[in-house]
Each structure stands twice: as structure tokens, then as C-alpha cells.
Amino acid sequence: MASMPASSATGNLTRVWARLQRPSSLVIVSAALRLAVTAVFLAHKPPSWGVNEAAGIARQLVLGHGFASPFHDATGPTAWLAPAYPSLLAGVFRLFGIETAAAIWVAVFLNVVFASLTSVVVLRLGQECFGDRAGVIAGWAWAVSPPVVVMPWLLWETSLSALVMSFALLRTLRLGEHSPLGQWLLCGCIWSFAGLLNPALLAPLPVLAILAGRKPHCRISAAAMLLVCVLGITPWTVRNVRSLGYLVPLRSNFWPEAYFGNVSFSLHPTGNSMVYQREGEIAFSRDLRARVVEQVCSSPLEFAHRTGQRILAFWTEPWHFGPYATILSLTAIAGILLARRAGREWTSFACVLGLHPVLYYVTYTFARYRHPVEPVMYTLAGYAFSELIRYFGKHFAQRTAV
């Protein structure tokens, strides 16, 4: 049998490589996998709206009661969640019925769309910061990795947060001395939406703005970006002051979450304690703030121990995927170290991974809380693996030459 000519083999590899870099290929594969997995989950273990706070608020919006009542038997306005995702669910409920099975399918399908688009953002992040090979590895790893493939099944803003966080970082990294002011302002709008979706996404923004404005000609533009972000959030803050009678920039639940993570879940409003329902949201938050402060002051070593456990859990869970999360975390760190050594962009990536989790370190954490920064982790891991391939390829070529 005649062997394939070298030129033909090279041409085939070139075409395959070109297909791997196509965003359309990534989206199709990502969406197909996620639709298949979520269809099986929905058929055999369908989720329910249950005690989903976002769904509770969306229900009240559709019924004309405003942004209110995230928990059972509660009445009155709320800022327990930021407004973007409950408002999106309200649109789904209005079209497909309040907390219906059809609404579940639509909400999951939207998550599939968000997650599939994220693969393209990961591809672009890797390509623009670390080269084509790193981008392709990272993008396809995001497309097919089991832990992220199953994530759209969760009826939360998690998948959308991952898309928005990665896209906001990509747009911020593209800013430079020659970027028109409009690009800076658009970036501020994206970050503003991120805050209205999940305020934890804003944690790295001040440092990212400082990094983007390091050059003298960029300082005013970076300040304008931050100003636009603040202005975009302000209407929601004004609404909270008027509705709740208290200054709540975005969400009101920090102190309750700190209580649940450091003292007890016994008073959680989804349970039967009814403390939230009796006291109201702001009084409940103040009450739990006093209890948290008392607990931390009386047992600082216990608080430190719990915080250490949360830090470890944030980067190593969930365990039902084995050591996958730990490996991802370690390869992301390796990517930062390699980028630093090579003189590539690393500070912005380290900033996102270093600042986003701080809120969860002092409250409590679930595996899905890491998901918004996992596109950044996959990008860095893609770079680490691309450098590993380059290293072994170089040594193999040297041995072959000898």
C-alpha cells in the first residue's frame, strides 16, 4: 500500500488545525455535548425550582409585586440577589409559565448557550495572551471537560457569570494607549452588568483598572471606565435605598452568608426558623451581623480554621470528579508562573484568581462559586500544557537531529 505523500499529510494537518481554531466548531461541539448531558439529566433527574431564590423573585416580578420575596412566606422588597438573573428568569416565566417544567428546559437551554459562547472567549483569551496553541487547548478543554459540561444543569446564574467574567477580562486586556475612549466606556458598561449579575465579579475590577491605566495616556480612560461602571450600578443602589430604607449598593446578604458559614445554617430563610420572615430583610441582616461579630471575636482561632478550610475547598472541590479540580488549580498556577517567566501578561490573570474568591473565604463556598473564574483557569492551564508540548517537542527534535 502506498504511503500518503508528506505534502498531503501536512495539508490535512493544516486543515484540521484551522478547524480547531474556528469559533463555530467550538460552539457546535460545546452546545452538542451540553445539550446531550442536560437532556439525560432532565429526563432522569429533573431539577425543581424548589427554594431557588432567583425563581422566587422572578415569580413576584411576573405577578406584579416587584423585586421582592425570595423566600417562602416572606413579603416586601428585597436586595438578597442582584437584579440581572432574576429579571432574566422573569422573562422566561412570562413566556413559558411560572416555575413550570417548560421554564426549566428554557433556563437550562440558556445556560447551554452561555457556556458554549464561553468556549469562544476562552479560545480568544488564550490566543491573544499566550498564542494559538494555548488558546486551542484551553478552548477545547472548556468545550469537553466533564465538570463544566454538566454545569448548565444548575438553575442559577453560574454559567452566565462565567461568560460575563471572561468576556469582561478579555475586553479589559484589549485596552491600550491607542484604544478610543468609546472602548473604555463600553468596557465599563460590561463590568457594570457583571456587578448587577453577581457582585463578586467586581472584586478584581479596581486592580484591573489600575493595571490598564498604568501608562500615562490611559489613566483618564481607566477612570472613565470605572465611573461608567459605578453609574450603571447607581440606579439599583437608589432603588435599594428607597425600597429598603438602607444603603445597599448591590446585595444585602453579606452578613447572613457570613453567619451561615461561620455559625450555623439554622436561621437560613429557606428553612423553618421564620426569623427572616418576622424581622424583615434589613433587620435580619443587622441581627446576624451582630451575631457574626460576636462569634468571630469570641473564637478567632475557630474562624481562622474555618477560613482555611474554605480556601482549600474553593480550589479542590467537588470531590466527585476526583482530583480534577485540584489539577486544574495547580496547572492554572503553573500557567501564571510560566507567563511571568516568559514576560507575558500574568498580573491580570493572577488578580482575578486572587481577588474573586476572597468574599467566599470569609462566608462559605460551594464548587459552583469558583465557576465564574474557571474560564481564566482553563486559559492558564491551556498555556501551561502548550508550554509542556513545546518543551517536549523541542527536546524530541534535538534527539532526532542527533
DSSP string, 95-131: HH-TT-HHHHHHHHHHHHHHHHHHHHHHHHHHHHHH-
Q: Which residue has the higher pLDDT, 18 or 296?
A: 296
What is the number of domains present in the chain? Answer: 1
Task: Tell me whether residue 11 is in a domain.
Answer: no
pLDDT at 284 over 60: yes
- Give a yes or no: residue 98 inside a domain: yes
Residue in the structure block whose three cell numbers are 422588597 = 77
What span, in angstroms and rounded, lies between the C-alpha atoms of 187 and 175?
9
Residue 163 scores a pLDDT above 70: yes
Read off the amino acid at residue 365: T
Domain membership of residue 15 (yes or no) is no
Identify whether the C-beta of residue 276 lies closer than 8 Å to the C-beta of residue 71.
yes
Identity at 225, one-letter amino acid code: M
pLDDT above 90: percentage of residues in the chain? 83
Q: Which domain holds residue 143?
A: 22-401
- pLDDT, mean over the chain: 92
Instruction: Convert the pLDDT of each residue in 70-122 to its tens digit.
Output: 999 999 999 999 999 999 999 999 999 999 999 999 999 999 999 999 999 99
∠ CA(259), CA(47), CA(327), 5° rounding?
65
Decide if 12 is inside a domain: no
* Lowest mean pLDDT segment, chosen from 20-24, 232-236, 248-252, 356-360: 20-24
Q: Specify the pTM.
A: 0.94
Statement: residue 1 has pLDDT above 50: no
Position 16 in a domain: no
E strands, 245-371, are none
- Whether 17 maps to a domain, the answer reads no
Please answer whether residues 219 and 213 qualify as being in contact, where contact means their C-beta atoms are separated by less than 8 angstroms: yes
Average pLDDT over residues 9-32: 80
Q: How far is CA 267 from CA 79, 89, 273, 286, 300, in A?
A: 18, 26, 6, 13, 22
Residue 5 has pLDDT above 70, yes or no: no
Q: Are 228 and 189 in contact (CB under 8 A)?
A: yes
pLDDT band at 27 (very low <50, low <70, confident <90, very high): very high
Measured CA to CA, the distance from residue 234 to residue 83 in angstroms comes to 13
305-331: pLDDT as tens digits: 999 999 999 999 887 778 999 999 999
Going by pLDDT thresholds of 50, 70 and 90, the confidence category of residue 400 is: low
The larger pLDDT score, comparing residue 366 to residue 107, is at 107
Does the pLDDT of residue 345 top 50, yes or no? yes
Instruction: Check whether 402 has a pLDDT greater than 60.
Output: no
CA nearest 315: which of 345, 356, 255? 356
Q: Which residue has the higher pLDDT, 320 or 179?
A: 179
Whether residue 4 is contained in a domain is answered as no
The answer to whether residue 194 is domain-embedded is yes
Q: Residues 117-137: what's their mean pLDDT? A: 97
Grid coordinates given for 360: 467566599
Contact status, residue 305 vs residue 349, Cβ threshold 8 Å: no
